[in-house]
Structure 1
Amino acid sequence: MPATEKAAGALLTIGELAAEIGRPQHILRYWETRFPQLKPLTRAGNRRYYRPDDVALVRRIHHLLSQEGYSIRGVQRLLADEKAARGKGRAEELRAIREALAEALDADG
């Protein structure tokens, strides 16, 4: 592995991630203000380190904005809708578990 490559799952600095997607660092800092899901680790001197989930989100935001033609607001809505759908799916799953447990308790009683 060359010295410039990092292991999969390694934290990336804002400079490394900005270079990877071909955007300036200030754009990533701006996206942090527009997408609350994007929360890199900050260390001494306010240095940002992006975890693998953050890197995937930045790549996705970049793709949606530059390749798919979404606006910032459009990406915000898309991500919010996806979060709501995941929450709804979890709520339905928990409801089914609750019903199964209630039936099991009724059968025992």
Structure 2
Amino acid sequence: MSGPSSSGPLFEDGKAEGAMRTIGEVSAAFGIKAHVLRYWEQQFPSLNPLKRSGGRRLYRAEDVAMVETINRLVNEEGYTLKGAKKAIAAGDSGPKTSRSEPTDAQPVRREVEADSDAGQAGGEEAEVTQQLRQIRDRLAAALD
């Protein structure tokens, strides 16, 4: 799915930056089909556009920002919807700062570290952790 650059959606409709957008406008700006946006509304309670008579949706600036975050997590960083929900709930959905350490690998690293902290650390787990880091680094290099 190709969409706008990471600087945000490109609305070329002459409206002010914070203006309300229809589902079609948001869909076109991000390259996401309208039915996917409607599904995301069901999956992410924080994505809640206004609904006018006849079910017409109007996305506020904060809704557009949430779509941008979900799109980045799911379509650019490889999160599942469940993982994206967790990242948003935990506040881990901020902008990426470095390609050397992909955000989508961070939840895995946290789980490995949590297991180690729980007293389950050992030679075998350290080896698995090292292998996972090598895989993560190879994937990150392949994306660059």
The answer to whether structure 1 residue 61 and structure 2 residue 70 are counterparts is: yes
Match of residue 39 from structure 1? 48
Structure 1 residue runs of 5 or longer lacking an equivalent are 84-109
Q: Please state whether the residue corresponding to 1:5 is helix, strand or coil.
A: coil
* Count of aligned residue pairs for this structure pair: 81
| Alignment map for 1:3-22 (pairs within 5 Å) | 4-22=13-31
Give secondary structure in 2 for the equivalent of 1:49.
strand
Where does structure 2 lack aligned partners over 5 or more consecutive residues?
A: 1-11, 93-144
1:52 aligns with 2:61: yes
SS at match of 1:66: helix
Please report how far the alpha carbon of residue 63 of structure 1 lies from its aligned counterpart in structure 2 after TM superposition. Answer: 0.9
| Residue of structure 2 equivalent to 1:71 | 80
Flag the structure with higher helix content.
1
Larger Rg computed on CA atoms: 1
- What percent identity do the matched residue pairs reach? 47
Runs of 4+ in 1 over 3 A off after TM superposition: none
Q: TM-score, normalization: structure 2?
A: 0.54
Listed one character per residue, the Cα deviations across residues 22-65 of structure 1 (whole Å, up to 9, x for unaligned) are: 01100000000000000100001100000000000101100111
Q: CA deviation at 1:6?
A: 1.0
SS in 2 for 1:6: coil
- In the other structure, the counterpart of 1:30 is 39
* 3-state SS of 2:91 partner: helix
Higher RCO structure, 1 or 2 (CA under 8 Å, sep 6+):
1
TM-score, reference length from structure 1: 0.71
Partner Cα separation in structure 2 for residue 80 and residue 58 of structure 1: 15
Alignment partners' CA distance in 2, 1:62 and 1:73: 13
